[in-house]
Structure 1
Amino acid sequence: MEGTSSTRRKAMARQHKGEVMIAGEQLRLRLHDEKLIKDRRYHLRTYPNCFVAQELIDWLVSHKEAPDRATAVCLMQHLMDHDIIHHVCDKRSVLKDAKLLYRFRKDDGTFPFNTEVKIFMRGQQLFEHLIGEKDSILQLRQEHGVAYQRSFPGCQLIDWLLQNVEAESRRQALDLCRTLQENGIIQHVAKKHDFFDSGLLYQFCINFRRRRRLSELLNESEQHNEEVVISTQEDNHLESPFVLHKSQPQEGRIAFQLVGSSKDLKQVTSGHRGSLYSSQLHSAGFPPFVQLTSTSVICNPKSVLRRSYTCEELLAPGAPFMKKVLTVIGDDLAWGFVVRGMAPCYVQAVDPGSPAAAAGVKVRQFLCQVNGQCVLYLDYRTVSRLVMTGPCTVVLEVMEPLE
């Protein structure tokens, strides 16, 4: 499990680096077109293909690529940190909003064409070739009720690579595809499998033709960092403590069930029920439960499941589960349950006084559908997002253990 998650995090980091490369190259071409990049003289020396940082910051703000100068500087610093641009003399590692000369490394031949970059460029070349074909294998396909763009069966990509002499053998083609997956260029649609020469469905993670807005880079960087934190916490959730801030019980406050350091469910007095389900899952697989004060109670957020299940086990004929359809009508505070799991998702906790409890939502139920959409193969973040962004009334199809 740790190795798989570590590989996934590395692929995410490489995918983000690829997005930075694409955005940087698109910016470089635009700046050449608008003559911001040109030969410039400084202290009796001519520097070819340079831009002035201050002029570029002006341009980014005026073209609405950044809302203000500070953000524009952050964007350019991001490109500098990824070896896309540099000071002409490499004397400065921090970009300044000043009349200083900088240059794209592709314009002066200093861009680091290392193994990762070469793999990325190979992936881009394959994508352009595939997407440009009349009957491309990259199509909109559905799996388990979810549609995936630019997707293809693994065996079809292997066949295509051989037919177009991109590989000399099926083994070589398979190795190439696995390398592309490891570098975040392609992935299994549900992020559950390595690449196989089979009918499993994969897709290109990166749309190389889409025009990037520079502001996306910072958002993706923040999202990537958050994903790494969440993923790391989830890998170690059995050992990671969860901190609850608890105040003195007062009349009218409710209790919330969660798993503590022992195997039994504990009752923890909470404050305002609304805060418990109005957020995404963060700390060690749980959302922030309550915003309270006073002393801290450390609990280990172990899974309520007696053992883990795969989607195939749940769907197997004769499996000891019963399907139910539950309608949860949210109140002013929301719904009142917590989901967890990387697929299938299950109910980790339920607020006893919530609409979810009234509708029959119970811990250990697995989520099959949310408002008619299959979610069995989705992780808890995606399922939480579907619930949070959907209507107030949520229709859940769940599978409940027969015990």
Structure 2
Amino acid sequence: MLRRQRSRIEACKYKILLVGEQLRFQMHVQHVIEERRFRLRNYKACFVGRDAVDWLILNRHAHTREEATMCMGLLQDQEIIHHVCDDHLFKDECLFYRFRRDDETYLQNKDLRAFFKGQHLFDRLFASRAVLRDFHAPGVVYRDSFMGRELIDWMLQSGLSITRDAAIKDCRELLENDVIKHVTDDYHFRDDDLIYQFSLDFHQPYLLSDILTFRRTSSSSSSSGYTRSSVEMTALRRRSTPVSMTSSLRSAADDSSSDSSRNSLPLLNPSPLESSVDDMSGRLHSGSTESTDSTCSLQPKSVLLRHVTVQELENPDTPYMKHTVKMVSDSVGYGFVIRGNSPAYVQTVDPNGPAAAAGIKVRQFIHSVNGKNVLRMDHKAVGKLIQQKMGTVCLVVMTHKRDAAVQTR
């Protein structure tokens, strides 16, 4: 579910960029974009805000001047256009604006760089049709796809890259920015016979007003992404500390006897632990059955999309990227739940806790705690290490590239 929501968010973002690029091309063809002069100074490749609104309505890109102004403002928010002196937001007035593609200021934006590099590659590939073809698998056909090795060969023959390593680096960057993807999203880009495809059809025509639909879709997806986990964690975290520790630790101990892979350890209380988590769980077994059952009902199912092994995480070509996170606990704790055995992963994050503020996300795997590799430990041992140095902790987490692209902009 979360994977589909993240994919929709990325697709919406690049569709808005595509609308902007199509609009720029049309405005150049119809001479809306020209060199202009104001107070003895020439401004190359720019357009007038009021003239652009007139043109947008005439060409049915928008129905009203207000809608046209709003949509152009959204393009400015995405850094597709800007005022020539960066002094004004987009207005239906006699002010000069310019597409960042025309003055190359887009190079300052990682998303724009990846988008335009991908668009150029897409256009060249579809013009030659030397690499793109349909691949058939049981029950599915992957349209207009390509093999990683064949793409690298073609890029070298076409002069798009000087060396093989440079071509591989460019393709990995495109995949990390969700411009291209492995057809089943299981592998990073490799120079072999794995199959990839573009995440977006760059030839699909759009109107400017379409970005309002894209924006609504993106907003609804992002706002609903962690609804269940957020509610569950808030309920767990805001209980009184003795009840939370009792019920949560007892639940973890009970689960371990039946299925160790379904365990979770809420990191709720920063007070020092003089003994192991298992010993504390035993001492707190006197907690009421009612509170225990209530907490157990709040524990969600695993958020992982599929089982991931330690060997996959340690593979040099793993699609999981490392990221260092430093956290300082508040009066309640760190505010996240871990689960799983070799490797342990983040199951739930309190949106109002220190973990969320530090950048901890669900489905991240815990690689190390305060410099100690914990990939082959279960979540109880990892939780004990996190609680050893109370008040602060340094984690190295591993995030899948599809999740990292959404989290960092």
- TM-score relative to the length of structure 1: 0.50
- Specify which structure has the higher proportion of helix: 2
Q: Which structure exhibits the higher relative contact order, with contacts defined as CA atoms closer than 8 Å and separated by 6 or more residues?
A: 2
More strand by share: 1
TM-score relative to the length of structure 2: 0.49
